Amino acid sequence: MRKDEDAGVYQSDPSNANADTRAKTRPKRRSRLARSQLVIFLNFCLSLVFFGALAAGAAMYWGKGEFENAGPLRSETSFVVARNSSLNAIADNLEERGVVSSSQIFKIGAKIAGVGSQLKAGEYAFDAGVSMRDVMEKIARGDSVQHAITVPEGWTVQRAYQRIADSDVLTGQMPDMPPEGMLQAETHMVQRGMTREQLVQSMRDAQEAMVRSIWEGRQEGLPIEDIGQFVTLASIVERETGIASERPHVASVFVNRLRQGMRLQSDPTFLYGIYGGAGKPSDAPITRADIESDTPYNTYRINGLPPGPIAIPGRDALEAVAHPLDTDDVYFVADGTGGHVFAETLEEHNRNVQKYRAIERERRADAQ
């Protein structure tokens, strides 16, 4: 624009107008910064990071699905995790057995869950199609298969040892045999790979704790000198009857005999003296020579209690001796139905014996 001196007004300058138009339509030049190699490289790196993150996210999504979805196992199977196994070894074995589809995914999942070092030894049962997550959680919980090893009440320690030694679930050598009566007679649930020494120690500790607890709560005035005699008498009661409700009554007979200085005259005692912990063979008859056998365990010949237990007493037998029934009975004999009949006098006892023998004669006649 210029000012007209005569008119006192401003007028447009055509040359300036054209210059303005050219300035507006001319394309802008790229800055030197925009054209620099550094910016190009940074843009490339950002692209790599973006696409890398995208790929990692996709991989994680896929891996999560593989970890949580049904696995390749086609039928129920068992799998053993050995003691001191590493996560790598467990994962590789699982893949080899077809329990999981990828050992790498299993390892990553276990590490993310924070249980990589907490997987427990044992035998595990897995259903068909089990997911890697379920496999991991089961092993981390130690939810292993439990196997039953039963030692019945009234068995000897020797018989219990034979059962433990024969188990194909347990490992290791048998430890030294504990004293007679000092293993817990129970059904013990064990994991595959448990050592025989561990089981024996657990059974011994449990029996000792139970015996001590019952002994400390015993009735006052029992004719028993110490805890050893307590277990001995309980073992005799255990072997005399398999009916738990009868044991306090049987215990009262032996307690009364001890108080009166009478011999116990218990058949299981002289049999233990003859056959020891192996027990009498089922086909071996009891003879007069057996009853008259000269051993420290024959309560037909010795006064008082034998030198030690003759079997493993259970809780009911121990409780029966600690709290015997209050009776005057000093005799009992089988009643022919699996139980026993009790008597205070020899005359009454002899009548009961005659009744039992009549029942036995009748049974033999029917069998013929």
Residue 126: φ, ψ to 5°: -120, 135
Q: What is the pLDDT of residue 3?
A: 46
223-264: per-residue pLDDT in tens?
999 999 999 999 999 999 999 999 999 999 999 999 999 999
Query: Which tokens belong to 51?
Result: 């696409």
The answer on pLDDT for 167 being more than 50 is yes
131 within 8 A of 69, measured Cβ to Cβ: yes
Q: What is the pLDDT of residue 282?
A: 87
Q: What is the mean pLDDT of the chain?
A: 88
30-51: per-residue pLDDT in tens?
555 555 776 666 666 776 676 5
Domains of the chain: 77-141 (3.30.1490.480), 146-210 (no CATH), 221-367 (no CATH)
